[in-house]
Structure 1
Amino acid sequence: METDFVNLTAENLADEHLCCIIRTKKLHQGVEAKRQWLSDRLSEGHVFRKLNAKATVFIEYAPLETAWAPLIGDNYYYLYCLWVSGSYKGEGYGKQLMEYCLADAREKGKSGVCMLGSKKQKSWLSDQSFAMKYGFEVVDTTDNGYDLLALSFDGTTPKFAENAKKLSIESEVLTVYYDSQCPYIHQKIEIVKQYCDSHEVPVDLIKVDTLQEAKGLPCVFNNWAVFYKGKFETVNLLDVAYLERILKK
């Protein structure tokens, strides 16, 4: 089994592929936006570790204090994403990546590791049942079924910021908050734009550009959040079918 992993650094970021969307020669706008976003995060202790192969096998996490998620806690890591896909599933790569993150947290004296989950597993969120095998437990919840899972080393626990539990905004129009953390976001925003333009659907696309903005959002957020008629709908990235289901409400 391939066990050669590499961590992205300021020195290799420009040359390494970013796993989620694999391209050879042609530049991909979502990938390049993610590359720029990462270039500003690595100095904050953000970790992107991947299999040294053209494969979607990686883990991404950051100190909770600088993680772009509306969470409160001291001395934790926030796990954005752990993803193993295709023929690489079932080969133990997820185990190696998770164990690396937990060992890194312990070595750096962290209080634990936390991640976003839900009562029903959502696409675009890391597999919480896999995390629970390592001792992750639900430590906070929202009224609409999202959970904060944590593995605590010292008995302390993080929590959702109060604003994250608001789950409503004043605007009634379709509203999407997004950042550049995920390479798929660029194309999903284009899908929403094109659909709303062609169907004359009012839409507000709000790019989250700062840590302060991300921490202050009125909903749970991993890199994307959707509201409609003033109500929070999902953290899932939208395709046309999903968008149409929301608009029928």
Structure 2
Amino acid sequence: MDFINLTAENLAEEHLCCIIRSKKPHPGVEAKRQWLADRLGEGHVFRKLDAKGTVFIEYAPLETAWVPIEGENYLYLYCLWVTGAAYKGKGYGRALMEYCLNDAKERGRSGVCMLGARKQKSWLSDQAFAKKFGFTCVDTAGEYELLALSFDGTAPRFAQNAKKQRIENQELTVYFDRQCPFIEQRVRLFREYCEANAVPLSLIEVDTLQKAKAMPGVFNNWAVFYRGEFQTVNLLDTAALGRLLKK
């Protein structure tokens, strides 16, 4: 299995593995590339199959992971994806997960954690797959779960602010960062939809680690609030956004 890790030296040339296939410069991909450039020195890992496909894992030390999760000495797994008929069923997912777990052990980490939910969310990594490796729920925030595989009996936790899941602003409010290549187009979609339908919209960029750690709800690149209540981490399309606004 020919995998490579992104580094400062190869980041500018490597395909970033998401579904976007444009041959031209893509604003979301380039934003992701810059976000990664600022993270790699913090121990952030992006490991991918040496191919223009969606086969990759992305994780970071929990201390510098842009999520409202607390814990000592853990790694946080942002994404693990293997999509496409050409790549499924070949053991790539297992190889990537085992690499992450072995990396955690070699670094002397206490374990690995990731975001899950009582019901699988379409924009979160496959939690059923993670549970085959021993991940279990160690904390909850509403319908969301913090899954962890502990090596030493300790456990991470959602920050108290993440469990709040409320804000004062009653408008449709979206918190986002630049980690996911799809963020740019979803921000544009939300802006255009809300302008066309006269819907008040607040877009809040989470552009520092401190802001991410202080989020008033669960966050994994994207978090939607409406009428003061946390709604989802899913990157909603126009149909789903319309249904949300009709609640």
Instruction: Please indicate the TM-score interval, normalised by the length of the shorter structure.
Output: over 0.9
- CA RMSD in angstroms comes to 0.8
1:90 corresponds to:
89
Deviation at 1:101, TM superposition (A): 0.3
Unaligned runs of 5+ in 2: none
Unaligned runs of 5+ in 1: none
Query: What are the within-5 Å matches in structure 2 for residues 69-108 of structure 1?
Result: 69-87=67-85, 88-108=87-107
Residues 1-60 of structure 1 deviation map (CA, whole Å, 9 limit, x = unaligned):
xx1000000000001010014446300000000000000000000000000011000000
1:44 corresponds to:
42
Deviation at 1:193, TM superposition (A): 0.6
Distance between the aligned counterparts of 2:59 and 2:212, measured in 1?
A: 16
Structure 1 residue ranges (4+ consecutive) displaced by more than 6 angstroms after TM superposition = none
Matched, 1:185 2:187: no
Query: What are the within-5 Å matches in structure 2 for residues 102-117 of structure 1?
Result: 102-117=101-116
Secondary structure of 1:193's partner? helix
1:20 to 18, 21, 24: 18
1:168 corresponds to:
166
Change (3 A) 1:173 1:22: closer
Secondary structure of 1:101's partner? helix
Distance between the aligned counterparts of 1:131 and 1:29, measured in 2?
A: 31
Distance between the aligned counterparts of 2:75 and 2:181, measured in 1?
A: 22
1:159 to 157, 160, 177: 157
Residue identity over aligned pairs, in percent, reads: 71
Distance between the aligned counterparts of 2:123 and 2:40, measured in 1?
A: 22
Deviation at 1:210, TM superposition (A): 0.1
1:4 corresponds to:
2
- TM-score in terms of structure 1 length: 0.98
Residues 120-172 of structure 1 deviation map (CA, whole Å, 9 limit, x = unaligned):
00011011110000000100001x21000000000110000000000000000
Matched, 1:66 2:64: yes
Paired residues, number: 246
- TM-score in terms of structure 2 length: 0.98
1:205 to 200, 203, 206: 203
